[in-house]
Structure formats: C-alpha cells, structure tokens
Amino acid sequence: MESRSFHVQYSLVSVLLSLCIASIIAVSMICGHHFDRSVRISGAELYQYGPVSIPLVELRSKVIAASDHHPINSNANRSSHLHRHLHINELVNQTVLRKIPKPKASREQELEQGLARARASIRRAVWSPNRSSTFDDDVSFPGGSVVYRNPGAFYQSYLEMEKKFKVYVYTEGDPPMAHDGPCKDIYSIEGRFIHEMENGAVGRRFKTKSPKRAHVYFMPFSVTWMVKYLYKPLTYNLTPLRDFVADYVRVISSRHPFWNRTRGADHFMLGCHDWAPHASAGNQFLYNTSIRVLCNANTSEGFNPQKDVSLPEIYLYGGNVPSKLISPPPPQIPRPYLGFFAGGLHGPIRPILLAHWKTRDEDLRVYEYLPEGEDYASMMLKSRFCLCPSGHEVASPRIVEAIYAECVPVILSEHYALPFSDVLRWEAFSVRVEVSEIWRLKEVLMAVPEEKYRWLVENLRVVRRHFELNQPAKRFDVFHMILHSVWLRRINLRFA
C-alpha cells in the first residue's frame, strides 16, 4: 500500500515538472525575439533625467558596437535585426541633434579670435580717400585726408590697437644694454621708446605683466649701448653685438615658451643705430622672422617691409627739439631760398650732391659746413625745400627736422623704406628725386607749381603729430605710430 502511494506521488510530481518546463519553453518561443532588442531611450526619457554625460564620440562607439552582434539568419531574426537598426539609427540621430557645449577656448585661441574680429572691423572701415573727416575732438584730418592711404581704415585700426593691443616686455637683461638706451642726440628714439614702454604712463596701458595675455613680446635691449660698451673702436668687428643678441634670445627661449612657440614671429626688437640690422643677425629667426623696428630700413640689406618696421630717426640736441622748430613761422612769411642742405661727405650720395651744387647757386644753398653766423634750424625755416640725402645708411634725421620746420623734404635715397609708409602717402608731403637726377635738382624743384607747394606744406602740418616725441606720449604721436606699425604686422600674422 505504501509502495503504491509513493508511485502515485512521484507520477504527479513528474507531470507537474513537465508542465512547468513546457510552459517555460512556450513562453520563450513566443517572446524570445524581445531579448535580442537593443535598449532604446526615447527623446522624452532622455531629457527626463537631464543630459547624458557620455561624449559624442564615445556614445557613437557604443552604439556601433551594439550593432555588431548579428543573430542567426531567419525571417524572424531578420525582422528583429531590422528593428534593432531602426532603433540604433534613431538613437544616433538623437545624439547628433543634441547641442554639445563647445570646449572653452584657450588663451591663445581667444587672442587670435580677438585679432580676427579686429581685422574684420578694419576691413569694414572703408572711407573715400578724398573725404574730409573729423573723427573725434582729438583727431581731425584736414585737406581731404590725402596724407593717409585710407583714413577710415587707419583710424579704425588705431582704435582697435588702443582697445586690445598688449605687449609683454621681457625682464631679462641688465642695464645699460637692456632696459635702457640713449635719450638724446641722434639715436634718441631708441632710448625714448624703451623708457616709455617700460615706465611711461601711456606705455603701461599697453604693457601687460602676464605674458599669456600678450599679443607681442618686446626684447628691450639697446644696440646703441652695445656699440658703446662692447664694440672696440676702429676694429669694425661686430661679433660682440651679435653674440649679445644671440645670448639674449637663448636666455628668453630657455626660460619662456613663447619664442619657441612661433620661432619669434610675435617678438620685436627696436634699434636706431646703423648697425642694428647686423646685431639682429645674431639669431637667424630674429633676423628672418621677428619684427625688427629699425632706423636703417634698407631693403637691399635684408629689411623686409612686410614684417619689419621703419623707425624715424629723430635728433634731439641735448635731449630736446630745437626751440626754433617747435613753432615755425606762419605760411605767409616768405622763404627766400629754394632749397638747403649742410652736411659732411659720408656715404655714396652726398658726394654727388656736393659735387654738383656745393656753393654754386644762390637759390639752392648746399654746404659741407655752414657759413659763420648761420644755424641749421634758421636755414631750414628760410627754405622752401630741405634736401635729405642718405649718409652711410639710408635714414636721415633731416627728414623729421624738415617736417618740424614745414620745409618740404626732398628724399635723396635708394632702397629706403620710409617710416609709416603702410599708413602715410609720402608723395602728399614730400618730393622724391632719383640719385641719377641730382644734377638737375634745381630744375625739378622749380617745376613744382606754387599751388602744389602750398598743398605739400599744408599736409606737413597734418603729419607733424605722427613724428613728435612727447613726454608723456600723446595719441597719434611717434610712440603710438611705432606701436601701431607693430600692431599692423601682428594682426596680419596667422598661426596654424
């Protein structure tokens, strides 16, 4: 009896177990294709819990990986495969359409973006070249603005410079050959710029203590003081000058990353001494790549107007402009002499000038030495045209002195890139005579009509402000024009 009861119970358990297994198999067969389906997040579900933090590239890789699991080839599974890819494509589309925040721009990118905006604003500032303009209380352009290549573009560029331009001045080096320079006599512009840039109230507005905020980097060494303290007279050995420059670049490039980042393309030096170009050859990238601000702007000796800046040579006798040139006489005061020059026989051009005209004409006063009782400034103020021949090198302080005296400069030079030529139209306030035409100099000057002469003098009064050294510096003076020339070269640099 007990044995039979046991068999009955065993049979019931077996039946129930078989039914359970059959039910599981049936459910699996009916619903099995749902277990292969990829997880889908709808648009509502996606944003219900906030933005997904998986980066776009990583999210795409996860989706593509999920699609690589291919099921067994059957009609049901092909349908499942199609459904899965529809969901995947939908998810990819949702991912692409999402707004992914842009990564924050680096400091360098921000600087370049600011320069790009400045370039765009300058391009938009297109003015008629003959338009008479008054931009604000401090800036007026009489005479139809003819002295400027494009007055509107120049003014807009100048404003952008005032708003944006930042200069980092390297602290490396010791005086007197760094952070110092001559502030009087013929190379005074060299020291005046260094001192204004480092210590002047206006210079500090452009100067930044943070090199990462700088658009350009200034190397404040003085070539004139190098010549004074390193050069051995009469040896004509310029190696000590080149060695100093090479050492200076080596120091700043080893201490800071900025030189190596651009190979010096956003760095500049300033030198008024005749040998400044030779000193800059101490480093090949300084010579070929950096912005060199030079008085000796000789295009036949490596000066490149596209990247280098021509620096006006200003002779400060005892540190000041001659008092007679500060306020020249009014235009109605007659000037009895057609032209004037006095100077020594050095360089290739002056001997030609003196050979043809020295003390040979009462109207064209040409001297090697001034007659007793005459002074240079007074003779300029008595002359309609002031002859400005090059000496050993192309630059001459007589050009700026002629502008001060409202005596039309006569440029007698070869291969000279005139200062601020990217902004100023020198033909509007000067006369250029080829060296080969010096023999007929009087004929050329006599042929200038009176009306044109008056027009040239009027334009001299317009450009004078751009060649004045002020303490403190004033808007549009020579300090600002030098900076603006550097600024123009920097905004035209585009780094990869």
Tens digits of residue pLDDT in 172-231? 999 999 999 999 999 999 999 999 999 999 999 999 999 999 999 999 999 999 999 999
352/240 same-domain check: no
198/211 same-domain check: yes
Q: Is residue 28 part of a domain?
A: no
270/331 same-domain check: no
Q: How far is CA 10 from CA 13, 15, 312, in A?
A: 5, 9, 116
461/482 same-domain check: no
Q: What is the pLDDT of residue 266?
A: 97
331/439 same-domain check: yes
215/305 same-domain check: yes
Contact (Cβ atoms closer than 8 angstroms) between residue 217 and residue 249: no
Q: What is the pLDDT of residue 136?
A: 52
Q: Is residue 442 part of a domain?
A: yes
Which residue numbers in the chain have pLDDT < 50?
A: 1-10, 13, 27-98, 100, 128-134, 137, 142-144
Q: Is residue 84 part of a domain?
A: no
Q: Is residue 213 part of a domain?
A: yes
Q: Is residue 159 part of a domain?
A: no
Q: Is residue 115 part of a domain?
A: no
329/294 same-domain check: no
255/353 same-domain check: no
Q: Is residue 303 part of a domain?
A: yes
Q: What is the pLDDT of residue 108?
A: 87
Q: What is the pLDDT of residue 107?
A: 83
336/284 same-domain check: no
Q: What is the pLDDT of residue 98?
A: 44
326/300 same-domain check: no
381/448 same-domain check: yes
302/336 same-domain check: no
What total number of domains does the chain contain? 2
By residue range, what is the domain housing residue 258? 164-317+478-491
Q: Is residue 80 part of a domain?
A: no
